[in-house]
Amino acid sequence: MWFSILCLVIVLILKILFDRNRSSKFPPGPRGLPVIGNILDIVNLVKQTKYYSGAWCRLAEKYGPVVGLRLGFDEPLIIVSGKAAITEMLNRSEFDGRPNGFLFKFRSGGTRQGILFTDTDVWHSQRRFTLRTLKQFGFGKDAMEHILQHDAISLTNVVVELTKEGAITNIQSVISVAVLSNLWLLIDGTKFDIGMESSKLREAISVLKELTRNSNVSGGIINQFPFLRHLFPKLTGFSVFVERQKRINNFFMEVVSKHKWKETAEGSNFIDAYLQEIETQKTNSSSFFNENQLVYVVKDLFSAGVDTTDNTIGFVIAFLVAYQDVQAKVHEELDNNIGMDVYPSLQDRDRLPYLKAVLAEVSRLANIGPTTIPHRAITDSNLLGFEIKKNYTLLANLKSIHMDKEHWGDPEVFRPERFIDEKGQFINDSWLVPFGLGRRKCLGETLAKNTIFLFMACLFQRLRIMLPLNHPKPCLQGIDGFIVGPPEMDIIAVQRY
């Protein structure tokens, strides 16, 4: 007992001395306190701005494009802001790693597994196989259009039915299932109708939402002081985190297990293809392909494929509910260029520049992913003259690009016309980077864009969406978390014909 206390005291003293001797090349930032570092600085900034992304932007305004923070016992956290600094950081291979923090490993059984939170050879092998295999099944290709269109029409029909019963209170849960439908076909090989999905699948989506809503990209108190999970498991939220991770991990283990014990592998979905790859590489002693990896790769695909896409759709609905004049322009464009007799298709994208502009402006202003997933320096390096040592964690503050006043002029204003030129055509702007940049850019970008476009085109072709009478205006800044969620609100959908 006394020996443990003595060891802890020694560690604390060494920590204090280390923090006081900060290198002159360490990035600028608030001085912080002994042991806890800048934790209270971040807490105060989040209280002031209401969002972690707001805290990162405040720090950038005061200290510049590269800010250094020390958070407890965790490795220093480097916040990178501004287009130039972020572009450099995300395109340098020495910053392609993922953090080694306790929670980042705990989510996948105690070691970093899967695709989102792995790096070096593990990440390269899993990413290469995943992309190649999913593309074979149509991932990100226009060949999937009929599936996406079917899901978009189904979502519209479900919304029509729900609104017959009055105001819709669970629109986001319906959207989540609709978004998952096409991705689940690629992963599991099964197709379900919206509203007919299994209760276990609905529960998995719900648990995923709870995990992202109750976490943040800095890792939180357990990453900063891992030993506290033993002393205060409930107070730190660790008990709830463990329970949720266990539930969602068990779900994916059961899914993989069902494929493993099938009499014949159909080879028409990702899980079957991965299991076949495990068999192929059995004699390869350095192989990174095994059943545990498969479980967490599927979990990562599920998480990345659902949460950001359905949140974007939820934000589009929220913005068009709040800005009825913009919704009316979307209706007019759909009426003039598509009509009512046929459903929109991906081939109609160039015929609907204003809708594309609305989707771009919502992505810019909502900032569903205000930062990238944390990166890790895999070797000693530097950034803009500042020392970045091995294992430092880096966050690319994408919101700083999307809210840059010099580029956008009026970044706080919702103005889709900023993406329309004088000829009425859509403008691609390189300052819009919701999917990140570099080698770790979101691999589902094309599928996400196609899904959002078709879902919104079909929904607003047939429906006008508004708030119930006396309903408060939704907070368009959303709900903070690892991923920013759309505002909670009731809606009324009225058929336009």
Instruction: Indicate the annotated binding residues.
Output: 442
* Collapsed DSSP state (helix, strand, coil) of residue 463: strand
Residue type, 137: F
φ, ψ of residue 396 in degrees (nearest 5) = -90, 115
Handedness of CA 445, 418, 395, 307 (dihedral sign): negative
Quickly count helices (H) and strands (E) in the chain: 19, 8
CA–CA distances in Å: residue 261 to residues 95, 136, 198, 335: 40, 23, 20, 51
Q: By C-alpha distance, which of 127, 304, 271 is closest to 185?
A: 271
Category of 24 on φ-ψ map: left (φ > 0), alpha (ψ -120 to 50) or beta: alpha
What is the distance between the alpha carbons of residues 296 and 150, in angstroms, rounded to a whole number? 29
Q: Could you give phi then psi for residue 296, rounded to 5 degrees?
A: -85, -25
First to last CA, the chain: 75
Known binding site for heme: residues?
Answer: 442
Contact 345, 202 (CB under 8 A): no
Residues 6+ apart with CB under 8 A from 280: none
CB atoms within 10 A of CB 400: 24
For residue 297, the number of C-alpha atoms closer than 13 Å in the C-beta half-sphere is 28
Q: From CA 296, how far away is CA 232, in angstroms rounded?
A: 28
Cα–Cα nearest to 332, from 350, 354, 348, 316: 354
